[in-house]
């Protein structure tokens, strides 16, 4: 089964957060809740502006992105894999 997002929705797979820093310091769970890194799995066609112009999402399948905290979007389970469906505007940055 595949997920095809509608409108300006983006399907993400969350990446495991780092539990310790490069210096070996373990991070408490609450320090990892503000933002999350995720892989873009699928991207919707975009949304229409009030003037009728199609505004496409700025991300592409396969990119790694940074999203707002764990409360952004909706969690869904497909074929035993957990995904998150978010609005394009919930994505803060592309990680290169």
Q: What is the CATH number of the domain that holds 80?
A: 2.30.33.40
Q: Is 56 contained in some domain?
A: yes
Q: Is 68 contained in some domain?
A: yes
Q: What is the pLDDT of residue 16?
A: 75
Q: Could you list the residue range(s) of the whole structural domain that residue 56 is in?
A: 9-16+27-88
Quick: pLDDT tens for 68-93: 877 789 999 999 999 999 999 999 99
Residue 32 has pLDDT above 50, yes or no: no
CA-to-CA separations, 31 to 5, 19, 68, 69, 94, in angstroms, rounded: 30, 10, 13, 11, 21
Q: Helices marked H in the chain — which ranges? A: none
How many domains does the chain fold into? 1
Q: Is 67 contained in some domain?
A: yes
Q: Is 83 contained in some domain?
A: yes
Q: Is 94 contained in some domain?
A: no
Closest CA to 73 of 36, 48, 18, 45: 36
């Amino acid at each position: 089964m595949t997920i095809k997002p509608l409108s300006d929705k983006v399907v993400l797979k969350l990446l495991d957060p780092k539990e310790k820093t490069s210096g070996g310091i373990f991070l408490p769970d609450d320090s990892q809740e503000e933002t999350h890194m995720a892989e873009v799995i699928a991207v919707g066609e975009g949304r229409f502006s009030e003037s009728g112009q199609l505004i496409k999402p700025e991300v592409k399948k396969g990119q790694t992105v940074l999203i707002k905290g764990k409360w952004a979007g909706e969690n869904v389970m497909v074929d035993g894999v957990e995904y998150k469906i978010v609005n394009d505007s919930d994505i803060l940055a592309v990680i290169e």
